[in-house]
Chain A
């Protein structure tokens, strides 16, 4: 109930106090003790424990009354007991049957009620404080000291570059690689052909195929001066906005980016796209990686020069807010602990490559990370509030407010509404609330006396569900405007709260608190102990330490990740585990060399990528060699470039690129933003009211009728439906990423699971992928459009076919490929009686001019897109 009046955070930076643990007072007088034991405890035990005790029964409503701590923390609705304050004590409210009725269907005697009044008024003295266990770690200071000997827990060492008399190496990187190859009696592969190299560069750097013009230019330049040609094309690609879209997506994979909560109750995050754009922009502007990390952990606390920078920093902290959420969790404390756990897990694994979250329940089993280290970090993360949004429903008790951006950023369709419209919405809300109260009463009637209740059994319950969802959505809508009806700009973010420590929880159980642990960082990663001032939450310090050369892992982690995306495998093949359970680096010296280069070059990611792709190693062919394979089957030492299966986004974008349909402009927002606060169901978003976020470049067609636009002036709660399958031509990174509802074109090719940290995608090979290329409507449409493009360019069939290969493969076709294409083209009879209806349905581009040539060409184009060459990168 309390959250009905949502207090929206002002940009002035409110401080929201999270529920703090109030420890039971140890010093009870004998009288107080006697009173509690004789008058209070028996009643609680008899009347309440069966539903509100973790030890005896359940914890309905998240409330457990069998400890002083639990009673004061309270459940979903708030603290059950506020010592000395009857009005604030919900237990008092409930036993008097005011808003709540407890025990259900029974009122306690006046005498008992009087006892409770006395007890609460005297300060609710309660001896049931839990014995404060002190959990001793089995990991000693000496263990930690010894743990620092492990390679990855030591800062990168400056390396002497090996020298060889071979003419092969062109850069320091090559020297390191050659040395390892030679020591394993291996030799590097010959250089790749220029066309293959260009294709590799285009896909690796911007995720799009080279155009025929690009290829021509590159080959001409290459003849003159290969090195200059390479440098030129690399610099061009790095400067394209498509670079950030490609490399930003790699980051979104590890940041488990998505635009909904996932899990049983899947609600949208309509503002998550701002984080997505922030990441893309950061890669495009080559933001120093250290700063990039700091902003994501503590953007709300970093000093800023402008409101713009502040707004951007707030959006960056969305990193901590957009994880999957179990909104249906009944226990608020459990929810808070799980939230913090997810934040610790993702932060340490993504940024440091160690899994600190393993120490939630017990000391880390493999790395020297005691359980106390986990709770030291938990204190830091506890001293903040996380604003992920969602709206309240009967099932969702965990909704939070969002943070208003200091800079308004409204889309062209974020239109203000009139004061009248706003008032109407408020009036509607009041009506709905009144209806809900009636529905509650009816439900109570049905429960207490089913025989006398009006209507069908269960109708009251269903009505309560519908109304509370409608109210939640309506509130969300009203809150998306300021007092004058002007749309507000929100972001998902975190905000600092008063600094608190966390208490260690035995076995990680919420009701087993042990000693309090001072806020701090994982000890094994700190050469010098780091102390955090009592007044500081420690998060800013943590962010600065993570994004610095002061810890041994950050630079290595990222250097390895960049390497992985370019060479197919990491130097450390477990990119998110640099601990003792991870694999050892194949080239430890090279990894340190790269990490130091990254740090010394102002943490420039573009700089690192540039030096890697300009190495001789990157230039080598992917050609197979039996003798080398037998010596090094995993290609640990890079005797060739590892062939890569292209990712889902790259395949979709490439089809659009070669058909000529690719829209390279960034759409504003996302389809999810357009739908606003909504429930996700089987590939559609159901919302009562759209929030007024901008329409995408291509507004939905099929569902426009139901949608009614963002603000049609219609205040009824008629649900609007937004399909997630809207056909769009913009880049795949901008497709809606809704948990458990990933678009087919991404899902079929191993898209990163958005509830997990994915450092390296899987590359499966399934008949489902075959079905996709053979039968999918989007694929067939692209083939049609591509065929049309080829027909427009030339009337000569041979030229059309040749051009199709150049577009798709980034190289001229071989003579046997051309022969095969020609023979297929000549013999294929596209139109048959059975296919004419199908063609009319799916082939928009073919409508009208039913040209055999066009249809034949489309079949050729589809086949080329379906072929393995299109899908693999050599």
Chain B
């Protein structure tokens, strides 16, 4: 594939400018739907599917992002020593607090998982736990940014944008990267930074927060409902009329691009209009789950229970994945349990347990788990010592994330924290390593996936990152 930004961009720009000389976007969009992967085509349509660097294990990613820093010590990192030292002053500032919950060992996988997540625990044969995670940032926004972009200091493209840039999209009528219910003010976490704007994530539910904490995306009843995606239907023109109007808009945009020579913003406008136009048909169809059986809804915990909202989002994620969307992220929160953990954590776990188990089961049934990488992670973990009597503080030195499907070993645990779970000591996995591994599973060499910006080749992993080859099946 063409990794030289300088060669790609002028071609793309010329293409975008040709609109005004009568080439027309009708022709462009029909070309775009031809899923050709040759060099010339990918330079024309930046979203056309591209071949990976080497045969890929995973074709797409579903990233379950747990905002707030879930406590690994009460979920996926079993530490019997914690109970022994309960109440003692540890080497950290503070008093060691055992997990108030029991852990259960899954008979088949042998993995120990908290009683708070029984259904995910029952699926643990599919899980690959990464228990030696660590990150540089101890505070939420920066750690979240590092989790998504590898860098907390500068504005850099997010993991999803890199993936889309590397592989293109299988569905020309849907955004290749969708972020469901991101927290407000976190555009950087699904942004494309210096990558062309076409690679940035499209948000669902997060930006339009009318339904409360990111549940708008979950309000789906059918294509008739206006409530699902705002302004998804034109009240006046049919599709042909609108195409004609849009061709005129794009001609004006092409004119501007010619005048301005280099204007990434205008390029982004041109591309996002084409996507918007196609989404008008594709999105309502995908969000209409009326043809899903009751059994499927139950599988995801959709109903009146606490899992309803996240369950709907997981079901949507599966539908998007099935339709060819490359990277889907769902954000869930808030896992920041400084206090009142004994109430909060069971609630949070209940909200995700059934939906995630359902998602894994559903993907498996559809034979999609083998090439769908499901990733579960928060921005950091929590301390072995207690806080406010009923909580734990941030801990960026050691925590757990997991992956499933997409070519990772199932029923596997990699890496470890110290005996109390405070610091990663074995099989350590920094965010750069974690990113490198995900790209590897997607068939991308993180050292080769570069973008030339301002005279320098940038990559997701900066100058670091080691692939955790041990976890690859």
Contact = CB atoms under 8 A, between A and B. Distances in A.
Nearest to B250: A867
B24 to A, nearest CB: 12
A771 B237 contact: no
A872 interface: yes
A824 interface: yes
A755 B141 CA distance: 14
Given A507-B93, A770-B276, A832-B238, A624 B263 contact: yes
A770 B248 contact: no
A764 B235 contact: no
B465 interface: no
Contacts of B387: 507, 509
> Which among B191, B268, B340 has the greatest number of chain A C-beta atoms within 10 A?
B268
> Which among A55, A57, A334, A758 has the greatest number of chain B C-beta atoms within 10 A?
A55
Interface stretch (B49-57, B72-80, B207-215, B290-298): B207-215
A110 interface: no
Interface string B14-39: 00000010000000000000000000
Interface stretch (A523-531, A599-607, A744-752): A744-752
Contacts of B367: none
Nearest to B240: A832
A868 interface: yes
Contacts of A278: none
B277 A817 contact: no
Interface in B273-332: 273, 275-277, 279-280
Nearest to B276: A770
A842 B209 contact: no
Interface stretch (A113-121, A346-354, A394-402, A629-637): A629-637
Interface in B231-262: 231-238, 241-242, 244-249, 251-253, 255-257, 260-262
Interface stretch (B118-126, B197-205, B405-413, B417-425): B197-205
A768 B207 contact: yes
A334 B391 CA distance: 14
A871 interface: yes
A767 interface: yes
Contact of B245 (A622, A767, A824, A838): A824
Interface in B207-228: 207-213
Interface in A168-227: none
Interface string A729-764: 000000000001110100110100101101000111
B469 interface: no
Contacts of A748: 207-208, 230
Interface in A822-872: 824, 827-830, 832, 834-835, 838-839, 841-843, 859-860, 862-864, 866-869, 871-872
Given A633-B453, A764-B191, A816-B20, A828 B245 contact: yes
Given A766-B203, A868-B269, A828 B231 contact: no
Interface stretch (A10-18, A413-421, A773-781): A773-781
Give chain A's interface residue range (CB within 8 Å of chain B).
35 or more
B251 A820 contact: yes
Contact of A764 (B200, B232, B255, B280): B200
A6 interface: no
A741 B231 contact: no
B255 to A, nearest CB: 6
A860 B229 CA distance: 25
Contacts of A334: 339
Contact of A871 (B207, B210, B230, B269): B269
B455 to A, nearest CB: 6
Contacts of A511: 388-389
Contacts of A622: 260
A866 B273 CA distance: 10
A623 interface: yes
Nearest to B215: A682
B393 interface: yes
B468 interface: no
> Which among B175, B184, B340 has the greatest number of chain A C-beta atoms within 10 A?
B184
B252 A863 contact: yes
Contact of B248 (A626, A765, A820, A841): A820
A835 B236 CA distance: 5
Interface string B39-81: 0000000000000000000000000000000000000000000
A869 B252 contact: yes
A624 B261 contact: yes
Contacts of A820: 20, 248, 251-252, 255
A767 B201 CA distance: 10
A821 interface: yes
A45 interface: no
Nearest to A869: B256
A638 B263 CA distance: 16
Contact of B212 (A59, A682, A762, A768): A682
Contacts of A57: 389-390
A382 interface: no
A58 interface: yes
Contacts of A835: 236-238, 241
B141 to A, nearest CB: 9
A832 B245 CA distance: 14
Contact of A753 (B175, B184, B229): B184
Contacts of B454: 629-630, 633-634
A763 B264 CA distance: 12
Interface in B128-182: 138, 175
A774 B231 contact: yes
> Which among A776, A827, A862, A868 has the greatest number of chain B C-beta atoms within 10 A?
A868
B211 A832 contact: no
Interface in A425-484: none
Contacts of A872: 256, 263, 265-266
Contacts of B191: 762, 764
B94 interface: yes
B390 A54 contact: yes
A863 B241 contact: no
B448 interface: no
B29 to A, nearest CB: 13
B235 A777 contact: yes
B245 A780 contact: no
A57 B342 CA distance: 9
> Which among B187, B241, B249, B277 has the greatest number of chain A C-beta atoms within 10 A?
B249
A624 B276 contact: no
Nearest to B204: A768
B237 to A, nearest CB: 6
A868 B270 contact: yes
B200 A771 contact: no
A775 B238 CA distance: 11
Nearest to A263: B213
Contacts of A866: 249, 273
A838 B234 contact: yes
Interface in B440-465: 453-455
Given A633-B453, A771-B230, A750 B235 contact: no
Nearest to A833: B238
A740 B209 contact: yes
Contacts of A863: 245, 248-249, 252
Nearest to B273: A770
Nearest to A860: B248
Pairs of residues from A and B, 4 with the lowest C-beta to C-beta distance, nearest first: A633-B454, A770-B276, A765-B268, A54-B389
16 contacts: A53-B389, A57-B390, A622-B260, A748-B207, A753-B185, A768-B202, A769-B276, A775-B232, A777-B235, A780-B235, A817-B252, A820-B252, A821-B248, A859-B245, A869-B253, A871-B269
Interface of A: 53-59, 334, 365, 507, 509-511, 622-624, 626, 629-630, 633-634, 643, 645, 682-683, 740-742, 744, 747-748, 750, 753, 755-756, 758, 762-772, 774-777, 780, 814, 816-817, 820-821, 824, 827-830, 832, 834-835, 838-839, 841-843, 859-860, 862-864, 866-869, 871-872, 874
Given A509-B387, A767-B272, 6 more contacts: A55-B389, A747-B207, A768-B229, A774-B242, A830-B241, A859-B237
